[in-house]
Structure 1
Amino acid sequence: MNRFTPGFCLIVALLAGGAAHAQDDTIRIGVITSLSGPAAESGAQMKAGIDTWLRLNGDKVAGKRIEVIYKDDTGTQPDIAKRLANELVTRDHVDVLAGFVFTPNAMAAAGVADQSRTPMVVMNAAASSLTARSPYVTRVSYTIAQSAKPLAEWAYRTGARRVFTVVADYAPGIDAETWFNKTFTALGGKIVGSVRMPLGSVDYGAFVQRVKDEKPDAIHVFLPNGQPMVAFTKAYREKGLDKANIRFLGGEGWGDEDVLKAGGDSLVGIYSSGFYSYTRPGADNASFVDAFGKTVGGRMQPSFLAASSYDGMALIAKTLARTGGKAGGAAFMQALKGYTSSSPRGTVTIDPATRDIVQTIYIRRIDKRDGRLVATEIDRFDAVKDPAK
């Protein structure tokens, strides 16, 4: 009978490799992302954001060379993500875990980070509870609550009193519904209806008709990134909700290139909240977009995943510079406190109490300018923390 637990075996493996790695002049970053499967485009954005940071800043920090090791989780696969995290820590001896498109995968890997005391930098997964999973986890993207709460406040401030909420029936959609509805009603608004649509829905006509029949001031929508957004927006137009003066309120992702290209003019006039769009103004973003284009050979524009992954590399490098290249979990997390940086999205900081990002959330309107769709920033909420903490 084997009397050793998996956790004990992990610790033994770490100790076995620790002595050799301690003298290494390489900083290894293990990135778990979706390089194949339904979320391959998100993984490609994440990888391109990381590679763009390296293009602009080089592969050295504190006298050591940065090596990035990519692992493909193939989609929402927490078991695979946990296995990959174990391999990266015990076999590849990575100093930092990073990446994570999906929250379930990040949650699974966080257990490995916690047990091995390996710093873990989340570059997308947006569930508020994630950073509470381990004191070795930090996040550079956003939380759903962080985006939905300012949107509800802006909607009420600009005249909406009756809102119908429509979300995809999965954890991020439910988070968006919860925080928008909670915030809006606390201000005095009324939620006249809430619908959770099956995640695989492709025909949104019946759901949109329910909204039109209720005649709200606005509709709040949360859907998975990409084609679902485009299909829903077209249904919104076809059912005449725009002509009925029912404002469209969305979350992050509506300013991404794939949505703008596929949606075309059906997107003009919709509003969304989020931390990044490639069309946003400013020299920092212009430099990032230019470098990103060179990284990918002009195949695509950066999405919010690319921006947060770029910022994730900046955080790792700046923190390691503070530690003199020492990547031990305790030293890294201590050096992380007080982190602040300029970014393509604006100024970002890390909350020392929660290890979550503090940033500006922009309210944006999709406009057509000089024949090009752009996400125009019309309002902003500065220094927004995750309200769930």
Structure 2
Amino acid sequence: MRIAKMLLAATLAFTVSNVADAQNAKSIKIGVLNDQSGPYADMGGPGSVIAAQLAVEDSGLKAAGWKVEIVSADHQNKADIAAGTARKWYDVEGVDMITDLTNSAAALAVSQITRDKNKVALASGPATSDLTGKACSPNTIHWTNDTWALAHSTGKAVVETGGKTWFFLTADYAFGQALERDTASVVKESGGTVIGTVRVPLGSADFSSFLLQAQASKAQIVGLANSGGDTTNSIKQASEFGIVAGGQNLAGLLIYVTDIHSIGLQIAQGLILTSPFYWDFNDGTRSFAKRFSAQMRGTQPTMVQAGVYSATLHYLKAAAASADPHDGLKVVDAMKALPTDDPLFGKGSVRADGRKLHNMYLFEVKKPSESKAPWDYYKLRATVPADQAFRPLSESECPLIATAQTSSAQK
């Protein structure tokens, strides 16, 4: 009798364990980690959480019986907070994938932890090209843009139209330094000269001393190697100082549609910018924007938020097809093997170094007289094909490339 009870208990325990394993196999937890309250909140922030939720809706996984949960946190643009949150999410809360990661220093920290824990990081918000260069990881994919792409589109276009001498206002952390480095390289390769640079603390409210240095340099172009609230503040204050009126021009190297909305077309008109996404680009982008803005009080999505949607959608497709959706390496390998295709970025692919490839577009900000409706801000100047938009593998320092080439040769 005792043996029979023991066998029954063991059978029940085995059955419960199998049911739990089966349920766990069809369960995914996503973390949106970004700036929710600081200078980068408009480009990502709560809007990135909405974008991830829309991707889950469109994936169809819930209808197929999957449990997909989304959590979010504010890293306050501090790498240590981002790292601590990532560890807690991975070790305690069972998060499988972290996305957005606006702020390059935070993204670099989380990328390393993600590798250590064998999870997935999908970087949509940060721009440093080091994420697919010397700091690349087999568990991280860099989705939306990067400093190499921005420099070789916006920077090159400005030099080719006469902007030969440059002075940089640079956000003083990993992103700004990488953007200045990559743009300065393009300026010099194109026959231009960098006269000087000044490093500006993240989140500065007063740019007067930095702008006075730029003005005194007499450089034709004042390159803004910053982003978000820093960009809008520097452009507004540059207007107050009469920098453009005095004959110098601004080059916004990373501009978001929310920046233009904040600045206004009267000041922003004529700015050249690069983006892989614009809400009013085609029927697919407009459909997404309508759903997004309905939950964001009329605000249109930025390229970062569009990247969160696109990356999350592809991740969910790969995770569902994977033998183990909780094995980060296997899921990332599946993401690299599957071609990408969604209504916001179109067709694309993910390279061995973790760089997501898609077209980039050079836009010009409209004059007030050209804008026909709210948020009607951009006009297309040029399309940069996916195979030209990002740093070629031959120039990359990413060690994953050699590994992938060896593996391919052995096959």
Distance apart, 1:349 and its partner CA: 2.3
Please tell me whether the aligned partners of residues 154 and 272 of structure 2 are also in contact (alpha carbons under 8 angstroms).
no
3-state secondary structure, aligned to 2:185: helix
| TM-score when normalising by structure 2 | 0.79
* Distance (Å, rounded) in 1 between the aligned partners of 2:379 and 2:184: 25
Tell me which residue corresponds to 1:308.
307
Please tell me whether the aligned partners of residues 52 and 295 of structure 1 are also in contact (alpha carbons under 8 angstroms).
no
Q: 5 Å matches for 1:161-310?
A: 161-226=164-229, 228-252=230-254, 254-278=255-279, 280-296=280-296, 298-310=297-309
Code of the aligned partner of 1:49: A
1:258–1:264 Cα change, 3 Å: same
Code of the aligned partner of 1:45: G
* Distance (Å, rounded) in 1 between the aligned partners of 2:106 and 2:256: 25
3-state secondary structure, aligned to 1:126: coil
* Distance (Å, rounded) in 2 between the aligned partners of 1:234 and 1:83: 35
Tell me which residue corresponds to 1:128.
129
* Distance (Å, rounded) in 1 between the aligned partners of 2:159 and 2:138: 36
Code of the aligned partner of 1:282: N
Please tell me whether the aligned partners of residues 357 and 385 of structure 1 are also in contact (alpha carbons under 8 angstroms).
no
1:43–1:59 Cα change, 3 Å: farther
Distance apart, 1:271 and its partner CA: 1.7
| TM-score when normalising by structure 1 | 0.83
- 1:134-193 CA-to-partner distances (Å, cap 9, x unmatched) read 311112222222212222221222232222222222221111111111111012112233
Q: 5 Å matches for 1:96-115?
A: 96-115=97-116
* Distance (Å, rounded) in 1 between the aligned partners of 2:34 and 2:334: 29
Please tell me whether the aligned partners of residues 292 and 300 of structure 2 are also in contact (alpha carbons under 8 angstroms).
yes
* Distance (Å, rounded) in 1 between the aligned partners of 2:183 and 2:207: 21
Distance apart, 1:119 and its partner CA: 2.5
Q: Which runs of 4+ in 1 moved over 6 A?
A: none
3-state secondary structure, aligned to 2:167: strand
Distance apart, 1:259 and its partner CA: 4.0
* Distance (Å, rounded) in 1 between the aligned partners of 2:295 and 2:257: 18
Please tell me whether the aligned partners of residues 27 and 67 of structure 1 are also in contact (alpha carbons under 8 angstroms).
yes
**Greater Rg over alpha carbons, structure:** 2
Distance apart, 1:65 and its partner CA: 1.3
- 1:288-314 CA-to-partner distances (Å, cap 9, x unmatched) read 111212333x34221222111101112
* Distance (Å, rounded) in 1 between the aligned partners of 2:360 and 2:315: 23
User: How many pairs does the alignment contain?
Assistant: 367
Code of the aligned partner of 2:174: A
1:107–1:198 Cα change, 3 Å: closer
* Distance (Å, rounded) in 2 between the aligned partners of 1:335 and 1:219: 43
Tell me which residue corresponds to 1:6.
none
Flag structure 1 segments of 5+ consecutive residues without an equivalent. 1-16
Flag structure 2 segments of 5+ consecutive residues without an equivalent. 1-16, 397-411
Distance apart, 1:23 and its partner CA: 4.7
Please tell me whether the aligned partners of residues 136 and 354 of structure 2 are also in contact (alpha carbons under 8 angstroms).
no
- 1:226-253 CA-to-partner distances (Å, cap 9, x unmatched) read 2x3223222332333333443321122x
